Structure 1
Amino acid sequence: MAGRNIRTKFGSGEGNMGSMLAMAFMALGAGVSDSPAQAAISPQERAGLVQSYRIPSGPLPSALNSFAELNGLQVLYDSAVTSRLRTIGLDGDFSVREGLDRLLRGTGLSWRFSARGDTVSILLAQNDRGTMNDAASGATALPTIDVGAETKQRQDAHAGPQGPGDRYTGYRPASSAPMTLKTDTPLMQTPISVQSVTRQTMDDKQAITIRDALISNVSGVTLTPNFFDNVVNVRGFLAPTYRNGLMEQRYRHLDTTNLQSIDVLKGPAAMLFGRMEPGGIVNMVVKRPLETPYYSVEQQLGSYGLTRTTVDATGPVTTDKSILYRFNGEFFRTDSYRDLVNDRNVFLAPTITLHPIEQFRMNIDFEYDNRIWVDDYPIYPAVGGGPANIPRSRYLSPAFITARMPNNMDKKRIAYDWTYDVLPGWSVTNRLSYSNTGTQTENGFPLALNEATGLMNLFLTYNPGGTDKNFSTNLDVKGKFSTGPLEHSILVGFDYFNFFAPLYGGASIFAGAVDIYNPNYWRSVNLNAAQQYNMTGQKWTGVYGQDMISFWDDKVHVLLGGRYDWAETSANRDKTSAALANATYQTSYDSGFSPRVGLLFQPLPWLSLYGNFTQSLGANQLDTQGRTLAPQRGEQYEGGLKAELLDKRLLLTIAYFDITKTNVPVTDPANAANRLLIGKARSQGVEIDLTGQIDDNWSVIANYTHDDVRTVVGTATDPNTAYARQLAVAGSILPGSPRNYGNLWIKYDADDAFKGLSLGAGVSASSDQLGDTANSFVLPSYALLNGMIAYTTKIEDFTVTAQLNVKNITDTVYYPSASGRSTIMTGPPRTFLGSLRVEF
């Protein structure tokens, strides 16, 4: 007898916590026989029936639907909860009871038969599970089912990934593990700290760059002065940037146009991702094509001549939806509060998804990025014990070159990822990325400031053109199986990375002195005076494996993993002829093991306590002569808790961490041109993150970080020498590392007569921080106020959103970071950014 698929959702209901959270929404399957024989089967008999199953791992709702059809059952559940959950699947002979237990393992859910034995209700695990009837089970009867209300509620609340274009995602990350972890283990069962910036967070704050999206939305993330303007620190150390799990060697000008979320994996991530700094990684997750057609056009206008136009279009190519497409594009142009600085970008990103059969899915990404900009490396000096008393708009690079000959980047990237479900619970995933980036750059470097005269010497590097090639790939095999009472979720993988910047000629010359109080920008310099030939490259091959072992009714999870890397780093620079440069190209060969161990205890479905220990093999450094040094190594101890509050609307994470990094190069006190690998740095602190919805109207992002980042072993020298030569000595705080900083953002979505109106406000605060390795000057503490107002309405078949964001409302003068006495970052003054978005 054919049945019907009916999407449903509970009303509010009355009774205890279990009854209010009990879940139901769908009657499925091959129908339920009305024959007296079947109706007479008791729930106990029905639960003991055994048959064969072959239900693959994947989304929980699909698995429950298949289970219902095979057993002629009705299964009632709430899709608002189950839509983000995954199951290990079923493969073999099981009773109905065993099958339901296995499908729901690790989800925090349980099940209950109706009195007739033909209906199964899926409910929270803390409810009593009865097999006779509702009264006997100790659980309150299910409330009335409201057919169709679930879809309407989501559209009204703009919460959940089913919003138009996957735009209305809410603030908290999904309960399922992010792609960054490469496993299907739910976030609450993973003994690692991971934070995500969702698409809605980026939209509400109009975050254009990766830095905009990360700063203030994730604990432990701070700015750092760097030519690669999307680099941030995580837990005090530089964080490498990945896209869909593959490394992006060039970090310049990465924006949020085609991103669905940004994950920050805290602590040494070398076990999964190779060589890197021990603070963590940033992984950009690209938007994926959708089966439902969606189109969006947005125009943004802001302070300093900013204009940005973005387009997002997606939908099926074929009627059976086996081929999908998505296209994201951007045109961006702006000047700056900094004199002479401007930026222009064209970005095009089409994506194709192939889904010919249920077990196979492939995404193919193309990106083209062309950017022209005047370099704004933060040349801004300290005088005495603090930043110089000059306008924050002052541009101190050698503008006679940098402004007249803007930088240019032309980047082309192609990538794919595919997953094939080989068997239920087993899958293979392969990712590959290749990019070709041509650049022409002119960069100014500060040398020394004469504080008495205000004259600062400048150094200029000029690269008339070079092309970097970046190739990376990996292969992951995942599977689930049992050994007695132990459930295993394993991952084994291989990855390969190769970056090469071929030989190119350029100039590196003294560019004279600039008066920081009265700069004269227009001087000339002979770029042919000091030709140099440079060539760099690195590659590594890594193999890794891990096993997540779960037991004790899925309350205890043990993570065991390790990785072995074979790495090569090659470099040469500052050579005066092409022939000499080729002759002196040097390569360093390194290898190492990176283990990871974690333990998580989940005493309650909403609470997890965890700890981990991990080590990492870091990247090689270069000495002042361009020679490669041995790689750095990292080590972390971490412990904390995760809690899902207010019916899982809020996610709270509290983490304590202790990270050390060794093999840090320090200057040889006997020879300033030599570097010694005796350095050691430590980052030790506490992070708190709270993200999500308080109720249907109020949403929050709150975080706080206390972090002590300092040199443990440095250059042994006297204070005067440390000050004059900017040397790191034992006990000194690393620059750009505030001890305490935090952020609070609250948004209100109105309803009733003001439905469509959204108001947001937030504050970001930071304590004092030291600005150089010698700790010779201080960047003062600051607090910034930010705000947002938006209104969304329907005009015929179009959804129109008008929005205005104001940053630094009080026009506070502040300095977010520094790396030395001549490289202080200045904070933007009050800025306005308005937008008009049309969706259909």
Structure 2
Amino acid sequence: MRIMTANGPVTGRRRGAFIATLLGCSSALAVMATGLHAQQTEDEVVVLDPIVVEGQDNGSIVALQSNGAGRLETPFLDSAASVSVVTEAEIRARGAETVEDVLSYTAGVVTDQYGADDRFHYFKVRGFDPNTYRDGLPLGTPFGAIREEAYAYDRFEIVKGANSSSFGISDPGGVVNYQTKLPKSDRFGEVYSTVGSNDRVEAGFDIGDNLTRDDTLSYRLTGKLRDGESDYEQSRNDEKFLMGGLTWRPDDATSVNLVVDVLDRDGVPGSGGFPVGGDFDRSDFFGEPDFNYRGTDRTTATLIMNRDLGGGLSVGSTLRYSDTDSDFGYAYVSGGSGTIANRAYFTDDSHDHQLIGEAHLQYDTTLNGIDSRSLLGVEYSKSTEGQIYGFGAAPDIDWTNPVYTGAPDSVPVITDTLTRTRGRAIYGQQELTFADRYVLSLGLRHDWLDTRIEDRLAGTTSRDDISETTGRVGLTYKATDELSVYGSFAQSVVPAGTGLAPERGEQYELGVKYAPLSSRSIFSAAVYDLTKDNITRTDPVTNMAATIGKVRVRGLDLEAKTELTPNLTMTAAYSYVDSEIVENGTAGNEGNRLALIPEHSGSVWVNYRLDATPNLGQMTFGLGARYVGSYEYDDANTASTSGHVLLDAAYTYQVDDRTELSVNVSNLTDEKYSAYGGLYADFYNAGREVSATLRRNW
């Protein structure tokens, strides 16, 4: 007889009989579930209640629970939403270094639409720019914000679909939540050093221990230092990062976490582009070496508190303050003819102060056989951001014989604004479980957002007040202990601009989830239909800005994460996206596809561990493939990129119990394509990068 838990068998080998489920959907999963039960009966398997360690992934690529569509921690099968979790184990297995690397093997997510451009993060979820969050508190959209340091986080949750009722203002495609590394209640640590392509030299550490004998006070210190370049000689890719955390546990029911981190980046915005239609080396550079910078200086302090009051009642709160300075300036290719490339200068200097916090009360109980979980919370935010844009013509350059002219004395300022924002919100969530099979989830939130924008060039001030309610409802049916189906409806809202109604979205979704008890694996399939309207466009009648735009996206997401055997793991994903511009004002384009969104995309990553022998240490081999289909560069659909396949690889050799040597290669075949372009310049994807890392753990 074998005993099983949700984490797989306690003893004995694990099975991998359900790989084919990856490309199946609802009916296929149901058939396989039936087959599994027959097999369990024959093998006399005794299935116990699932055992899940809350908030931990236990070194696995498979997360059996997440915050789902809200702030309630929810088992994978119970959540009426499509949620992908990238754990620390998966990040390590793939050697993912940037946020784009972390997300690039996730269903519904497309990354790197601007190629090697390093100004911001570039990824979309179900056709839209997602709002990003840190520990459940908003950071903003990735486009236009600073690049986060992925080493600061040990878990990434991607919640797909409209979700303003839980997290607040966001587009309907989804949200991404970064979970900060916190101190642990035992001693641990790692130090590493890396050398790699583009003259990269890097060192880092992540250590922690208890400061008291009774484990009431623990610390964690995380940092990295990097010196390097990008694909071209005139670039920089330097960084200093340091994060320190303290956790106080005065008793078993209370935890208080304080985390302070400093991020200092000295990089470049990207190559500045290449003349359209050419085939240039990535090392070619047509910008200005003396005017090519992207800097980030941010300090953040986060306080996370939780208290179990007993009797099913608990409280929690998160507070964050950040102070950010960022800038960039460069000369980019803006057109041209023959061998002459036109160029323009562009600058962006910003400073931002933000204070944001939330507090919530949760009550868990059972009423007449119905399990109930209720959550009520409030959120408050206040920020001040100053932003100055500069733009002006730059000297042309002959791309056959580049002659650099140096940095300009000044760049004309075209925008100088000071934006003050104050937000308040109240939200509630309710989850009811009937007969251990039906899970009803409800969410409701109301946001108040007051914005004041000072135009310091024009000497004018504009104001806007938003008061919006969003909701969400989902129903899950757990057909068996391994299989569930669900349906949901959710809304989203984002500001459109002063004097304009907010842009609104809504989504209908149906899905199926499968988590076999015979192995630690999860499989999911979801179909959805989402729309976003009230999009600001120029009204063809009044020739003024009006909320008349509308787009629609329908699609399918398939995803699998499985530990097939103790030595073999796999992640796989496929997405189909049918996007359409329904209304667009004077811009036209009705019936066209949304820009930068491929119709088809997919990925697979396989890790195989070869156990140690008397003569050789343990070795792990990883190989991945990412396919991104053709997509349009703009909503007018005038130019597009071709579909492409990128290969990634990883190798790790266990020198001893605590030391390992790893080699990672991204874009193994050095595939080159224009990730964005066709208008005034082409922007290529990043070339092949190889790195070797020596790591010591304890």
Do these two structures clear the TM 0.5 threshold for a shared fold by scoring above it?
yes
SS in 1 for 2:91: helix
- Shift of the 677–377 alpha-carbon distance from structure 1 to 2, 3 Å rule, reads farther
**Corresponding residue of 2:73:** 184
**Corresponding residue of 1:242:** 133
SS in 2 for 1:257: helix
Q: Can you list the C-alpha shifts for 1:446-474, whole angstroms capped at 9, x where unaligned?
A: 65x245665334242253xx531011111
Q: What are the residue-to-residue correspondences of 1:368-447 with 2, within 5 Å?
A: 368-376=262-270, 379-380=273-274, 382-383=276-277, 388-402=278-292, 406-444=293-331, 447=334
- Shift of the 711–140 alpha-carbon distance from structure 1 to 2, 3 Å rule, reads closer
Unmatched runs of 5 consecutive residues or more in structure 2: 13-36
1:378–1:826 contact (8 Å) kept in structure 2: no
SS in 2 for 1:238: coil
Aligned AA (1:830): R
Give 2:354's match in structure 1, choosing from 459, 470, 480.
470
Give 2:207's match in structure 1, choosing from 313, 316, 321.
313
Give 1:738's match in structure 2, choosing from 569, 588, 598.
598
Give 1:836's match in structure 2, choosing from 673, 689, 694.
694
SS in 2 for 1:809: coil
Q: What are the residue-to-residue correspondences of 1:666-815 with 2, within 5 Å?
A: 666-667=537-538, 675-716=545-586, 727=587, 729-751=589-611, 753=613, 756-794=618-656, 799-815=658-674
Give 1:598's match in structure 2, choosing from 452, 474, 481.
474
2:4–2:10 contact (8 Å) kept in structure 1: no
Q: CA deviation at 1:417?
A: 0.8
1:789–1:803 contact (8 Å) kept in structure 2: yes
1:296 and 2:296 aligned: no
Q: What are the residue-to-residue correspondences of 1:28-43 with 2, within 5 Å?
A: none
Q: CA deviation at 1:531?
A: 7.3
- Shift of the 536–745 alpha-carbon distance from structure 1 to 2, 3 Å rule, reads same
Separation in 1 of the partners of 2:523 and 2:303? Answer: 34
Unmatched runs of 5 consecutive residues or more in structure 1: 1-13, 26-76, 81-125, 128-136, 144-159, 622-626, 717-726
Q: CA deviation at 1:392?
A: 3.6
Separation in 1 of the partners of 2:124 and 2:207? Answer: 34
Separation in 1 of the partners of 2:588 and 2:683? Answer: 20
Higher radius of gyration, 1 or 2: 1
Separation in 1 of the partners of 2:283 and 2:374? Answer: 54
- Shift of the 454–705 alpha-carbon distance from structure 1 to 2, 3 Å rule, reads farther
Separation in 2 of the partners of 1:738 and 1:572? Answer: 39
Q: CA deviation at 1:333?
A: 2.0
1:197 and 2:86 aligned: yes
Aligned AA (2:250): P
Aligned AA (1:432): L
Q: Which one has more relative contact order, counting CA pairs under 8 Å at least 6 apart?
A: 2
Q: CA deviation at 1:666?
A: 2.7
**Corresponding residue of 2:346:** 460
Give 1:650's match in structure 2, choosing from 475, 498, 521.
521
Separation in 2 of the partners of 1:23 and 1:572? Answer: 55
Q: CA deviation at 1:410?
A: 1.5
1:510 and 2:393 aligned: yes
Q: Can you list the C-alpha shifts for 1:253-308, whole angstroms capped at 9, x where unaligned?
A: 21221211111111112111111111111111112212221121011111001122
Give 2:409's match in structure 1, choosing from 526, 531, 556.
526
Aligned AA (2:300): R
Aligned AA (1:471): L
SS in 2 for 1:803: strand
Q: Can you list the C-alpha shifts for 1:94-127, whole angstroms capped at 9, x where unaligned?
A: xxxxxxxxxxxxxxxxxxxxxxxxxxxxxxxx99
Q: CA deviation at 1:515?
A: 4.7
Q: CA deviation at 1:223?
A: 3.1
**Corresponding residue of 1:265:** 159
Separation in 1 of the partners of 2:318 and 2:499? Answer: 30
**Corresponding residue of 1:49:** none
Q: What are the residue-to-residue correspondences of 1:37-52 with 2, within 5 Å?
A: none
Size of the aligned set, in residue pairs, is 662
Q: CA deviation at 1:348?
A: 0.5
Q: Can you list the C-alpha shifts for 1:141-183, whole angstroms capped at 9, x where unaligned?
A: 989xxxxxxxxxxxxxxxx989xxx89622111x233487321
1:598–1:611 contact (8 Å) kept in structure 2: yes
Q: Can you list the C-alpha shifts for 1:776-808, whole angstroms capped at 9, x where unaligned?
A: 1120111112211111142xxx60010111122
Q: TM-score, normalised by structure 1?
A: 0.73
SS in 2 for 1:337: coil
Aligned-pair identity (%): 23
1:804–1:832 contact (8 Å) kept in structure 2: yes
SS in 2 for 1:21: strand
1:814–1:826 contact (8 Å) kept in structure 2: yes
Aligned AA (1:757): M
Aligned AA (1:630): A
Aligned AA (1:480): D
1:570 and 2:553 aligned: no
**Corresponding residue of 1:499:** 383
1:168–1:199 contact (8 Å) kept in structure 2: no
SS in 2 for 1:401: coil
Q: CA deviation at 1:198?
A: 0.9
**Corresponding residue of 2:507:** 636
Q: CA deviation at 1:23?
A: 9.9
2:66–2:85 contact (8 Å) kept in structure 1: no
2:395–2:405 contact (8 Å) kept in structure 1: no
Separation in 2 of the partners of 1:756 and 1:266? Answer: 37
Separation in 2 of the partners of 1:559 and 1:736? Answer: 33
SS in 1 for 2:291: helix
Separation in 1 of the partners of 2:557 and 2:109? Answer: 7
Give 1:826's match in structure 2, choosing from 671, 684, 693.
684
**Corresponding residue of 1:488:** 372
1:540 and 2:423 aligned: yes
2:260–2:300 contact (8 Å) kept in structure 1: yes
SS in 1 for 2:598: coil
Q: CA deviation at 1:523?
A: 4.4
1:711–1:728 contact (8 Å) kept in structure 2: no
Aligned AA (1:538): T
Q: Can you list the C-alpha shifts for 1:653-685, whole angstroms capped at 9, x where unaligned?
A: 11111111112223456898x543211112211
Q: Can you list the C-alpha shifts for 1:418-440, whole angstroms capped at 9, x where unaligned?
A: 11111232211100000001234
1:231–1:240 contact (8 Å) kept in structure 2: no
- Shift of the 161–610 alpha-carbon distance from structure 1 to 2, 3 Å rule, reads closer
More helix by share: 1
- Which range moves more in the overlay, 201-210 or 437-446? 437-446
Q: CA deviation at 1:538?
A: 2.8
Aligned AA (2:427): Y
Aligned AA (2:124): N
1:620 and 2:496 aligned: yes
**Corresponding residue of 1:358:** 252
SS in 2 for 1:272: helix
Q: CA deviation at 1:370?
A: 1.1
Q: CA deviation at 1:24?
A: 13
1:399–1:522 contact (8 Å) kept in structure 2: no
- Shift of the 281–444 alpha-carbon distance from structure 1 to 2, 3 Å rule, reads farther
- Shift of the 704–252 alpha-carbon distance from structure 1 to 2, 3 Å rule, reads same
Aligned AA (2:511): G
Separation in 1 of the partners of 2:533 and 2:286? Answer: 35
